[in-house]
Amino acid sequence: MQAKTYYTAIFLFICSLGLASNEVSLRLNPTYYDEYTQSIYVTVELRYDGHGLFYLADQNYRLFYDSKLLTLNKSKSRSDLPRDLYSKIIFMEVLENLKAGSVNELAFDEQLGFVNFNIDLSDVNHGGIPIGSSEEWHRVAILNFKVHDKESLSEIIWSNADRTSKYATAFVEIMEWIGPNHTQQASVKDYIDARFNLIDDGIAGSIQVAPNPAIDFLNLSLTKELAEEITIVIHDAMGKKVLSTKMNRGSLLKKVDISELSPGSYNLEIFEKDLFISTYQTTFIKIRR
């Protein structure tokens, strides 16, 4: 009986440590602008600011943005968490071109955009991914917005009690997995909004593909060295993948052999490391010698 009481006390003590240190920070990070589709990708990122490990459970995210300049593209937005542990991204509400009336705190009150989306923990018995305090930022989701005026881009703002309480009564909720079917809400220490003054056009702003039409080879040339490896994928007019190759980090030029392709029109896409979303697209024509 004494042993059981002893281990129970230890368990409660460990739980109390978890309760005291479950602080996280959130960041909206514009990663690149896709010139081809005139859209911008914004990653939703989380950092654990406590000690030990934080087991990420259900999440409920709420954001505000200028819907005159941005339109959310749900089909190109996705969760970036393991599918065996979490649900797909679930959009609960997307509202655009709202008028906030007399609030007048955000610069875009007359064309307010709002999105509320969830990512739910599926494995409630074994818990979510463990996040250590030394892991820095952990990418949770990727949001895609159609850009209507790149030069005038304004912030995307977290919904939180300190800044947007006049617009909503519910805010971001991040749950921590404590044990089987047991979660608790974490405290959000810091909200970092998305700002676009330093956005990089990435691959789309630095690459040239020539010649077009082409016979045996395509030359991909960049104005700056690749920061990370990319994958080049070519599809035929029916959407079938016919060629895939890599371009290494630090490269400026890549010669792609298309001599085995039949004459016709093709679509070339570039995928940056770990994103699994094309960041550049173009078409070219293969002709006979």
- Global pTM value: 0.67
Taking the domain 203-286, which CATH number applies? 2.60.40.3080
pLDDT in tens, 22-46: 899 999 988 777 777 888 889 899 9
Omega into 30 within 30° of 0, i.e. cis?
no
Look at residue 169 and tell me whether its pLDDT is greater than 60.
Answer: yes
Residue 87: Cβ within 10 Å count: 14
User: Which single residue is written with the structure tokens 């514009």?
Assistant: 30
Average pLDDT over residues 4-23: 49
Look at residue 13 and tell me whether its pLDDT is greater than 50.
Answer: no
Q: Which pairing describes strands 207-210 and 217-222: parallel, antiparallel, or unpaired?
A: antiparallel
Q: Which of 285, 213, 218, 226 is nearest to 256 (CA)?
A: 218
- CA distance readout (Å), 256 to 172, 209, 214, 267: 46, 10, 11, 14
Average pLDDT over residues 196-201: 59
Q: Where do the domains of the chain lie? A: 21-192, 203-286
Percent of the chain's residues with pLDDT above 90: 54
Look at residue 21 and tell me whether its pLDDT is greater than 80.
Answer: no
Look at residue 5 and tell me whether its pLDDT is greater than 60.
Answer: no
Spatial neighbors of 216 by CB under 8 A, at least 6 apart, are: 257, 258, 259, 289
pLDDT in tens, 257-283: 999 999 999 989 888 765 555 677 888
- Predicted local confidence at residue 179, as pLDDT: 94
Hey, what CATH topology would domain 21-192 get? Immunoglobulin-like (2.60.40)
Q: Are 80 and 87 spatial neighbours (Cβ–Cβ below 8 Å)?
A: no
Are domains 21-192 and 203-286 of this chain identical in fold?
yes
- Predicted local confidence at residue 14, as pLDDT: 43
d(CA 78, CA 275): 11
User: Which single residue is written with the structure tokens 């980090």?
Assistant: 249
